[in-house]
Amino acid sequence: MTGTFDITINKIQTSRVSEYDINNVPFGKCFSDHMLVAEYSDGKWHKPVIMPYADVPMSYSMSALHYGQAIFEGMKAYKNDKGEVSLFRPTENFIRLNKSAIRMAMPEVPEEIFMGGLTELLKLDSAWVPNSETGSLYIRPFLVATDQAIGVKASETYKFVIITCPAGKYYSDPIKVLVETNYFRAVHGGVGFVKAAGNYGRSLYPTKLAQQKGYQQVIWTDSTTHQYVEESGTMNLMFVIGDTVLTPALGDTILSGITRKSVLALAHEWGFKVEERKISIPEILTAHANGTLQECFGCGTAATIAQIVTIGHDGKDYDLPAVETRKFSTRVDETLRNIRKGKVADTMNWMFKIS
Ligand code: PLP
Ligand code: COI
């Protein structure tokens, strides 16, 4: 690559890939040979370096650790039957990372570093991309504040890093979710619409309480009335009620998911009625009672399509129709998988070829 940000590449001496069964590793625990690191200081980005995956040299006063100037993205690369590697809609992640950066008073990452760096990194670590039916290489780009200072102010130095890890299914089975009506994930004027690290930290305690009651995840509701559903765990929420595909409308309390956007595009293409609007708990429970609630699922990069089989609310469990009967989400899941694995034509131009 040429240009302002020529990338320095320090290759690993011997790849570690043969030490793992990359088609069968737990999510997010085994990291590929290389990572990309770019530094920001003196008001500008410096030349990125691709180097062997390693621990970060860091000061305990590093500002990200204290005040949470830390944002991230999650995306995936797929391998087709010919061994070619492609990314799913990476420009969307690039745009969203910079939206997060602006909200958190951090410098935007240049496209040349994000896309150019990612391309070089994946070329180098293509052997780490699983080729199994449901496998992919999960990619974690992140930006953290690195000033060594504990005064509360926007940092003047940052590191943008990309690490990657082979991944299979995030949820091995359909999930039970609990409607959370005490804690909330996001508030108007807050940071729920961006991928700020603190959004995830704050979610862990309510999620732990739900898990102690036998649910895998929570359904987040709005912070003022707790009457309207927003997201589930780290996924956007979708329902099929009657002949309509429904999802909460975006706003500043909901992350604009790339999977959500893709599911809605397919629903439109297939001629479904689609509504993006407020969805209340009473509406869902009424649809459940009168038998029109046909499907409920979460969607996101890590989870892909996660079927929700039980919704817990106010001490009661509402069991939903069997997964085998869910025509829309099954078709979406299969279509997305086929597009990503290059098994059907990519008519929406979603795949970005690396090699
Ligand atoms: N909502 C939250 C809070 C998330 O963390 C994610 C995951 O990135 C999503 C939704 C789904 O977004 P995407 O489909 O872009 O992965
Ligand atoms: C993703 O779906 O990529 C996420 O960010 C969810 C999670 C692993 C944090």
86 and 184 both lie in a single domain: no
**Proximal ligand: closest to the CA of 170:** 2
Residue entry with tokens 């070329």: 123
The secondary structure of 226-243 as a DSSP string is S-BEEEETTEEEEEEETT
Last residue of a domain, one of 167, 185, 217: 167
Q: Is 30 in contact with 20 (CB distance < 8 Å)?
A: yes
134 and 207 both lie in a single domain: no
Instruction: Please give the pLDDT value at position 3.
Output: 57
Instruction: Please give the pLDDT value at position 355.
Output: 85
Residue 51 lies in a domain: yes
Residue 347 lies in a domain: no
- For the entire predicted model, the pTM comes to 0.97
129 and 243 both lie in a single domain: no
Q: Whose CA is nearest to atom 10 of ligand 1?
A: 235
* Total of domains in the chain: 2
> From the CA of 264, how far away is ligand 1's center (Å)?
15
> From the CA of 125, how far away is ligand 1's center (Å)?
25
Range of the structural domain that residue 154 is part of: 8-167
210 and 132 both lie in a single domain: no
Instruction: Please give the pLDDT value at position 2.
Output: 45
- Read off φ and ψ for residue 287, nearest 5 degrees: -65, -35
The secondary structure of 327-353 as a DSSP string is HHHHHHHHHHHHHHTTSS--TT--EEE
Q: Whose CA is nearest to atom 3 of ligand 2?
A: 74
Q: Whose CA is nearest to atom 3 of ligand 1?
A: 234
162 and 122 both lie in a single domain: yes
Residue 1 lies in a domain: no
Last residue of a domain, one of 167, 187, 214: 167
161 and 179 both lie in a single domain: no
152 and 200 both lie in a single domain: no
- Return all residues near 295 (Cβ < 8 A) that are at least 6 apart: 238, 239, 240, 320, 321, 326, 328, 329
Protein residues whose CB sits closer than 6 Å to any atom of ligand 1 = 74, 231, 234-236, 255, 257-260, 300-301
Residue 345 lies in a domain: no
Within 10 Å of residue 348's Cβ, how many Cβ atoms? 12
Burial class of residue 231 (count of CB atoms within 10 Å of its CB; 0-12, 13-18, 19+):
buried
> From the CA of 256, how far away is ligand 1's center (Å)?
7
Residue 149 lies in a domain: yes
195 and 85 both lie in a single domain: no
Any idea what the CATH number is for the domain that residue 68 is in? 3.30.470.10
Residue entry with tokens 């009506």: 181
Q: What span, in angstroms and rounded, lies between the C-alpha atoms of 162 and 37?
A: 7
User: Can you list the residues of the chain whose pLDDT is less than 70?
Assistant: 1-3
Tokens for 133? 């039916």
- Chain centre distance of CA 97: 11
Any idea what the CATH number is for the domain that residue 252 is in? 3.20.10.10
211 and 163 both lie in a single domain: no
Q: What span, in angstroms and rounded, lies between the C-alpha atoms of 336 and 314?
A: 35
Within 10 Å of residue 77's Cβ, how many Cβ atoms? 26
- Return all residues near 146 (Cβ < 8 A) that are at least 6 apart: 39, 58, 62, 63, 64, 155, 157, 158, 159
Instruction: Please give the pLDDT value at position 5.
Output: 82
Alpha-carbon dihedral sign for residues 210, 213, 217, 223: negative
130 and 35 both lie in a single domain: yes
What is the DSSP-derived secondary structure letter of residue 217?
Answer: E
Burial class of residue 211 (count of CB atoms within 10 Å of its CB; 0-12, 13-18, 19+):
middle
Last residue of a domain, one of 143, 167, 191: 167
Residue 144 lies in a domain: yes
Residue 222 lies in a domain: yes
> From the CA of 331, how far away is ligand 1's center (Å)?
20
Q: Whose CA is nearest to atom 5 of ligand 1?
A: 234
Q: What span, in angstroms and rounded, lies between the C-alpha atoms of 61 and 67?
A: 11
36 and 109 both lie in a single domain: yes
68 and 193 both lie in a single domain: no
Residue 352 lies in a domain: no
